[in-house]
A and B are shown apart, each in its own frame.
Chain A
Amino acid sequence: MITDSADPARFRVDRRIYTDPDIFAHELRRIFERTWVYLCHESQIPGHGDYYASYIGAQPVFAIRQRDDRIGAFINACSHRGAVLTPRRQGRARTLVCRFHGWCFNTDGDCIRVKDEAEGWPNGIGREKYGLTPVPRVANYRGFVFACLDPGVGGLADHLGAARPFIDLLSDQSPDGLEVVPGQQTYLIRGNWKMQAENGVDGYHVSTVHRIFGQAMGRREALGDNADKRPTEAGRIKGTVASGCYDLGHGHNMIWAGRANPAVAPLFEAEEALLQRFSREKVDWMLRRGRNLFLFPNVQLMDQSSTQIRVFRPLAPNRTEVRVYCIAPKGESRAARIARLRKFEDFFMVTGMATPDDLAALEDCQIGALGRQARWNNMERGLEMVTVGADAHAKALAAEVVSSAARWDHETLYHGYFRQWAALMAAEHTAHGD
Chain B
Amino acid sequence: MSSAQDVLPGAVSLPVANASLETQHAVEQFLYRQAEILDDRLWDDWLALFTPEGHYWMPAAPEQMVGEGQPNIFYEDHYLMRVRIGRINHPNAWSQYPPNRTGHVVSNVVVEAEDPSSGDLVVRSKFYVAEYRNDEQRFFAGKYRHHLTSGPDGYRIQLQRVDIVNVEGPFDYVLQYWI
Contacts and interface: CB of A to CB of B under 8 A. Distances in A.
B71 A185 contact: yes
Contact of B169 (A185, A223, A352): A185
Given A181-B70, A187-B169, A226-B79, A213 B87 contact: yes
Interface stretch (A37-45, A101-109, A336-344, A409-417): A336-344
A353 B84 contact: yes
A357 interface: yes
A345 B75 contact: yes
A188 B83 contact: no
Contacts of B14: none
Contacts of A344: 71
Contacts of B73: 185, 345, 349-351
B4 to A, nearest CB: 17
Given A346-B84, A350-B73, A356-B174, 5 more contacts: A186-B169, A223-B79, A229-B79, A356-B95, A363-B134
Nearest to B171: A187
Given A186-B169, A219-B86, A359-B174, A326 B80 contact: no
Interface of A: 181-190, 208-209, 211-213, 215-217, 219-220, 223-224, 226, 229, 321, 326, 337-338, 341-342, 344-346, 348-353, 355-357, 359-361, 363-364
A321 B170 contact: yes
B61 interface: yes
B43 to A, nearest CB: 14
Contacts of B176: 351, 356
Contacts of B83: 216-217, 219-220, 223, 346, 353
A208 B92 CA distance: 8
Contacts of B134: 363
A350 B175 contact: yes
A88 to B, nearest CB: 10
Given A212-B93, A229-B80, A341 B70 contact: yes
Which of B92, B94, B175 has the largest count of A CB atoms less than 10 A from its CB? Answer: B94
B101 interface: no
A353 B69 contact: no
- Chain B interface secondary structure, helix, strand, loop or mixed? loop
Contacts of A182: 61, 69-70
Interface in B28-75: 58, 60-61, 64, 68-75
B173 A188 contact: yes
A183 B74 CA distance: 13
Contact of B71 (A326, A353, A363): A326
Contacts of A348: 71
Contacts of A353: 83-84, 87
B172 interface: yes
Contacts of B82: 219, 223
8 contacts: A183-B60, A185-B73, A223-B79, A223-B83, A229-B80, A350-B73, A351-B176, A357-B93
Contact of A216 (B86, B170, B171, B172): B86
Given A219-B83, A360-B95, A188 B71 contact: no
Contacts of B72: 341, 345, 349
Nearest to B176: A356
B174 A355 contact: yes
Interface in B84-137: 84, 86-87, 90, 92-95, 134
Contacts of A226: 79
B174 A350 contact: yes
Interface string B149-179: 0000000000000000000111111111000
Residue of A337, A344, A357 ringed by the most chain B CB atoms within 10 A: A357
A188 B170 contact: yes
A185 B86 CA distance: 24
